[in-house]
Structure 1
């Protein structure tokens, strides 16, 4: 769905509660309910905004409009929604490259990226990798067709200079995609930083309630957006109307959730720094964090994300800690209203210590959450 730039003088909170809403209509809801339709009345030639359920849906249209307004409020953009973050990632990668091309990926990104690499290499695509920190991917750009950036990275929370990488990639002839999942469009706008695609798993902070799987791609170039949309059509990777409607409904509280989570995450990280039994505390909002300088320059409004990572002394200690928590679910994913934490090494796909904990801060009262964490640390150390 394409967005049209306007004069945007409103704040983020005002924008999110109005994003994607149709013009008011007497006696109708401000946000229409989900439209369930496999087909539409289609007299004559098969043209029009809605021709078949795999092609488009009015509920998707409103959600795509809303996300586009958040990712690119000042320039026209198109958003394409998918049933998961991996659906969105796959659509960008496989619509933009072909056999013989070179793709540059982070080697410390989302743990499913190796699945993308495996498939690309099977199709005759060369894949190069480098860490997120220090713009290490710069050294891999010669001859590349696509640069994939994840900043902040998951789960290590490293940050790279997106504009610097994007400028260098464009000079090398590559297109640039940024995984914006952890930051959300309120915390970071990759398209404003020079990226060609902003991609995210809406499963996490965007929808924020742990009950919807969703992904999306936002792009300002109509031709590239058309390629992504054609991939969705070909693969049949379409969002259910109920999921799209739930996602749109959840956007209204995005700014409230993101701001509260970011503030509590920073407070938790500061509290963890005081613990001698906790090492490797990472959060981009900490002034002493290796990522802070770049994050402060390119992330918006002091919103450094809801995730804190840290290391405890071994697997057993980490598992005792997780078991002792009372306000925190031992679950994967992040960005939800209920805090979650997990020993990330249990999945086997991340290069992290056995005692590495990825902690996603929810919207609980900060003193209660921090007290629970500190109490669990005490209990697990006995």
Structure 2
């Protein structure tokens, strides 16, 4: 039976109904499990708390169903998005290998790049826009894509890049954090891994740290799972259960936030003090043609970025907001915004704002932003 995205999200990963049992079983807190002799070690799914947990298993099945509803896939969940990113890169790369990273990706890719280079791995970088990573693919072992990119919101043609990488034997991993599985399915576009921070829109309430990597290739899943076991980057059962519970509202949140983000971007386009406005859903955005072709259901993400005249102007704007929290991260049901340059890891102007649009009534949110911009200008 063919079902829609909302139904998928509501039903993903649930066990078969059992009389007198909850629809979604509660978290299993266990460091070890009963084992009866050596045979249980080889046949049982749960032997030790660092290896597996029934609560993780349900969440992993749910994410696999969302990232790859048409083909079998395996998901490995982690304690954070960076745990998942590091596991994919460090489990697949060896001394002498070459990896291609986006030069405009998540800012923790910078220290991770330094770590990789310290291990004798060559790191090449190129921007996301214009499929520029194609120019540095020669001889690479792995291509890492971030589309839409964070925080600049550029988009690349994932299928084109994946085909080029595979033609020369390279693996392809796509950071799908901003899009979510409902907005984009990298595995359908040819990627070997879909990787994401579940901290953001996947869970959507700003109260869970989580990451995951999904692949359709069992050997790749096994290598990432072995890495998780070795370094111990495991999620807590409570976090895994909260994440699974949150999936039921994923479509509701993603759709509301995407429509709110587009409405805010359209409103901001009329403000003269704003420059560099970006949102992939805007028809005039440079990323829109490719985003419209590969992102699903008009879901272009919850993030809008723009630049105000200077650092002080940007801070006055943030201070004047009443319905928006000055906080990092994105994807939550409550809108947040920040002056991204304060972290020092992104090549953005001092007045650059990354705005994560929540699920508030759009009229209220837009009115608050207009009022804050007026206050910042008049100060």
Q: Once the 2 structures are TM-superposed, how far is the Cα of residue 172 of structure 1 from its aligned partner?
A: 1.6
CA distance in 2, matches of 1:291, 1:336: 23
Q: Deviations over 1:264-301 (max 9, x none)?
A: 10000000000111111100000000000000000000
Secondary structure (helix, strand or coil) at the match of 2:33 reads: coil
- The alpha-carbon deviation at position 116 of structure 1 amounts to 1.2
CA distance in 1, matches of 2:277, 2:347: 16
Alignment partner of 1:230: what SS?
A: helix
> What is the CA–CA distance in structure 1 between the aligned matches of 2:138 and 2:331, rounded to whole Å?
36
Q: For the residues of structure 2 that align with 1:121 and 1:42, how far apart are their CA atoms? A: 43
Aligned to 2:21: 28
Give me the whole-angstrom Cα distance separating, in 2, the residues matched to 1:273 and 1:55: 50
Match of 1:242 in 2: 238
Matched, 1:207 2:200: no
Q: For 1:186-335, what aligned pairs fall within 5 Å after superposition?
A: 186-335=182-331
| In 1, Cα distance between equivalents of 2:343 and 2:297 | 33
Alignment gaps of 5+ in structure 2: none
**What is the SS of the residue equivalent to 1:15?**
helix
Query: Partner residue of 1:40?
Result: 33
Alpha-carbon separation, structure 2, partners of 1:344 and 1:20: 36
1:185 aligns with 2:185: no
Per-residue deviation, residues 33-55 of structure 1 (Å, max 9, x unmatched): 00000000000111211011000
Over the aligned positions, Cα root-mean-square deviation in angstroms equals: 0.5
Structure 1 residue 64 displacement after superposition:
0.2
- State the 4+ residue runs in structure 1 displaced beyond 4 angstroms: none
Q: What's the secondary structure of 2:100's corresponding residue?
A: strand
Deviations 1:332-372 (A, max 9, x none): 00000100000000000000000000000000000000000
Aligned position for 2:104: 108
Query: Structure 1 residue 319: deviation in Å?
Result: 0.1
Compute the displacement of 1:234 (Å). Answer: 0.5
CA–CA distance in structure 1, aligned partners of residues 62 and 281 of structure 2: 28
Residue 176 of structure 1: CA displacement?
Answer: 0.2
Matched, 1:95 2:91: yes
User: Does the residue aligned with 2:187 lie in a helix, a strand or coil?
Assistant: helix
1:4-41: CA deviation from partner (whole Å, max 9, x where unpaired): xxx5x100001100000000000110000000000000
Q: Which residue of 2 aligns with 1:367?
A: 363
- Structure 2: distance between partners of 1:172 and 1:148: 15
1:148 is paired with a residue of what secondary structure? strand
Work out whether 1:13 is the aligned partner of 2:6: yes
Partner of 2:188, secondary structure, is helix
- Structure 1: distance between partners of 2:290 and 2:247: 27
The 3-state SS of whatever aligns with 1:191 is: coil
Determine the structure 1 residue equivalent to 2:347.
351
| Aligned residue number for residue 52 of structure 1 | 48
Q: Quick one: distance in 1 between partners of 2:370 and 2:350?
A: 20
Distance in 1 (alpha carbons) for counterparts of 2:116 and 2:271:
44
Task: Tell me which residue corresponds to 1:173.
Answer: 169
Distance 2:81 2:108 in 1: 10
SS in structure 1 of the partner of residue 172 of structure 2 = strand
- The alpha carbon displacement at 1:115 in A equals 1.3
CA distance in 2, matches of 1:224, 1:21: 25
Cα separation, 1, equivalents of 2:49 and 2:354: 39
Aligned to 2:222, the other structure's residue is in SS state: helix
* SS of equivalent residue, structure 1 residue 103: strand
| Equivalent position of 1:3 in the other structure | none
Once the 2 structures are TM-superposed, how far is the Cα of residue 95 of structure 1 from its aligned partner? 0.5
Cα distance in 1 for partners of 2:11, 2:314 equals 42
TM-score when normalising by structure 2:
0.99
